């Protein structure tokens, strides 16, 4: 699932598209889940499977990303074709799906779109029941200088006894915070992980090894290389590899568009890790990596 606009990013008419595959190689023609309008712009935040239902997470903006009406929603489907009407969870701008923590609860990170943004930036949600909006609890990750954060786009590494939050920022390296319960967090600090100020993905392989996929360069908005790094303990990254790094060039000009491999997400299916990403914000590509190589 991904955001699909006519020309520019996150403007009028942007919709959600979905494509599925029986084998990870042949993909069906994309079909819309929801169509956008002048004051209803859809921004994809990922998919989950819950109780035999496919769950789509997405933000609907009120015309701009930080419009007061911008909020997180979900919709469910039994067949991937027919979807329920969107259910609102909370205000804010969210683009990453929930991740399950060590205690069974779920955590999801986004951005404040109300006056709290001036002092907090990151809006973190913790839930026991994903599809029950009243079960979501709002918590905060403290940071000394909020100006280093534009879009935080929080994502998480769920370890055996705690959770690490990674945050996009303007410094050239990811920020991180840690929590034993998902609710009380250490102050976010700069790590040694290079990042070009871009969306990134986290996850865990069946072996228990954690992975991070990001644009790991120190040059701001340089998305020429998509890099995956691995960690056995979810703290120290010990092995890195290029997912894609060939030169790319946009076919069309557009607002917020950049050349490169960007906005990754990844999912383990059968014997492979499937890495899904945008190329130049014009195409959606999939790279399949055999788990035995990782």
| Strand extents, DSSP E, 148-238 | 155-158, 163-167, 173-179, 189-194, 201-204, 210-214, 226-231
CA dist 224 → 185, 196, 233, 293 (Å): 33, 10, 28, 23
Phi, psi of 249 (to 5 degrees): -145, 130
Query: Domain residue spans in the chain?
Result: 1-91, 98-194, 201-294
Give me the average pLDDT of each 10-residue run along the chain (294 residues). 93 94 94 87 96 96 89 97 96 96 97 91 96 95 95 97 97 97 98 96 97 95 97 94 97 94 96 97 96 95
pLDDT of residue 30: 96
pLDDT of residue 218: 83
Residues 213 and 154: their CA atoms lie apart, in Å, by 14
| Ramachandran class of 72: left when φ > 0, alpha when ψ lies in -120 to 50, beta otherwise | beta
Tens digits of residue pLDDT in 237-291:
999 999 999 999 999 999 999 999 999 999 999 999 999 999 999 999 999 999 9
pLDDT of residue 64: 87
């Amino acid at each position: 699932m991904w955001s699909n606009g006519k020309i520019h990013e996150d403007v009028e008419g942007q919709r959600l598209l979905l494509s599925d595959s029986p084998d990870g190689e042949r993909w069906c023609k994309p079909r819309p889940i929801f169509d956008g309008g002048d004051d209803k712009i859809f921004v994809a935040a990922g998919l989950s499977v819950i109780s035999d239902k496919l769950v789509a997470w997405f933000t609907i903006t009120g015309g701009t990303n930080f419009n007061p009406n911008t909020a997180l929603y979900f919709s469910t489907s039994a067949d991937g074709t027919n979807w329920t009407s969107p259910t609102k969870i909370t205000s804010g701008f969210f683009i990453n799906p929930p991740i399950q923590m060590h205690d069974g609860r779920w955590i999801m990170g986004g951005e404040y779109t109300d006056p709290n943004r001036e002092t907090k930036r990151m809006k973190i949600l913790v839930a026991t029941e994903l599809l029950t909006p009243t079960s979501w609890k709002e918590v905060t990750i403290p940071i000394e200088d909020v100006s280093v954060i534009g879009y935080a786009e929080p994502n998480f590494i769920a370890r055996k006894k705690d959770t690490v939050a990674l945050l996009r920022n303007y410094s050239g390296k990811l920020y991180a915070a840690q929590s034993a319960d998902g609710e009380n967090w250490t102050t976010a600090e700069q790590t040694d992980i290079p990042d070009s100020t871009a969306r990134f993905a986290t996850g865990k392989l069946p072996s228990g090894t954690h992975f991070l996929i990001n644009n790991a360069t120190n040059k701001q908005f340089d998305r020429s290389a998509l890099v995956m790094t691995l960690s056995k303990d979810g703290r120290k990254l010990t092995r890195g590899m290029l997912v894609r790094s060939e030169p790319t060039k946009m076919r069309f000009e557009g607002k917020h568009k950049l050349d490169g491999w960007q906005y990754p997400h990844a999912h383990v299916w059968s014997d492979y890790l499937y890495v899904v990403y945008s190329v130049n914000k014009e195409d959606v590509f999939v790279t399949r990596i055999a788990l035995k190589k990782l």
